[in-house]
Amino acid sequence: MTEFEKKFEDKTGLEFNDYYKQYKPKLSWYLTRYTKNIESAEEFADMAFIQGLEKIDSYKNELAQFITWVTSIAVNLVIKDYKDRQKSNLTSIDKEISENLTLSAFLKHEDNDEDKILHEENKAKCDLIKNVIYSLPDKYKKVMILRELDRKPYKDIAKTITKDYNVTISNDNYFIDNDEYFHSATVTNNGQSDVTINYDRCGYSVILSPNEEKIIEKDDVENQVEVISDDNVNIKVTETTNLSTIKSQIKKGRHLIRKKVKRNFELIEKNGIK
């Protein structure tokens, strides 16, 4: 056991080699979002573990888990490597951040002056992106907050972005519209009488009792769904948005953000933080 490994064990209560074997694959996988290949990611992960072990005296276990600390070291190594090789054909880490808005990339790490500078630059960029997201038109702001700040999956966002409306039906049939944004709808019977949902081309019906609900999928609507009742009944329809629309809105939102932060990013890279 080396001197550094002994200090690691004293600070964490863990054996370094076992810890390394457990967490290196996870760190390597995380870094592939920047390196785009596992070989480079594994190299940076190894370098980060080595630096983390060599700087173990400056690690404060009461502030962060060791893997969080090592991850921040690894991300800064990737960023520094890019800046040292700007003339090569590597993908710009800053461009990757500005295009994909992975705010979790801005991890705190303050071991030396260079790391502090990188951290402050990243923090400033992060703050710029957040401010721009909150200033977007409502059409884009909600989806960008859910995707880029809350890191929600596309499917969860689609379920969250809904359109609610109430419809009063009687002997007149009500047909659910199938527009380009439609993904699914939940029909709730808010009345005191039964409501019938007919699936025209499928040849079957569903009866909703008062307070009962039914989920209507896009394929159902394409086969013509009608809602009828023998009495005046109010139904509530909650529509969710399809994934392609959500992805399109996020793509457009990212484009708007890139345009808004581009100039400020360039000033930060040129002049640093004032």
**Domains contained in the chain, number:** 2
Report the distance separating Cα 36 and Cα 96, nearest Å: 11
Q: Is the dihedral of CA 78, 79, 80, 83 positive or negative?
A: positive
Segments in 229-273 forming alpha helices (H)? 243-271
Q: Which of 235, 233, 236 minimizes the C-alpha distance to 170?
A: 233
Does 54 fall in a domain? yes
Categorize the per-residue pLDDT at 272 as very low, low, confident or very high, splitting at 50, 70 and 90. low
**Percentage of residues in the chain having pLDDT higher than 90:** 3
Are 228 and 195 a contacting pair, CB within 8 Å? Answer: yes
129 lies in the same domain as 184: no
Report the distance separating Cα 251 and Cα 255, nearest Å: 6
Output the pTM of the full model: 0.47
Report the distance separating Cα 45 and Cα 27, nearest Å: 6
With a cut of 80, say whether residue 252 has pLDDT above it. Answer: yes
126 lies in the same domain as 9: yes
Which structural domain, as residue segments, surrounds residue 230? 170-241
Q: Rounded to an integer, what is the distance from CA 204 to the centroid of its chain?
A: 40
Does 48 fall in a domain? yes
Note the pLDDT tens digit of each residue in 170-180: 766 677 776 66
Which strands, in side-by-side order, build the sheet including 182-189?
Answer: 162-169, 233-241, 182-189, 213-217
Does 250 fall in a domain? no
116 lies in the same domain as 193: no
8 lies in the same domain as 110: yes
With a cut of 50, say whether residue 106 has pLDDT above it. Answer: no
The CA R_g of the chain, rounded to the nearest whole Å, is: 27
Does 161 fall in a domain? no
Report the distance separating Cα 257 and Cα 135, nearest Å: 10
263 lies in the same domain as 231: no
SS3 percent helix, strand, coil of the chain, rounded to 5, is: 55, 15, 25
∠ CA 169-172-175, nearest 5°, is: 80
Least confident of 66-70, 106-110, 182-186: 106-110
Q: Give the model's pLDDT for residue 33.
A: 79
How far is the CA of 263 from the CAs of 93, 99, 226, 251, 258, in angstroms?
A: 16, 14, 53, 20, 9
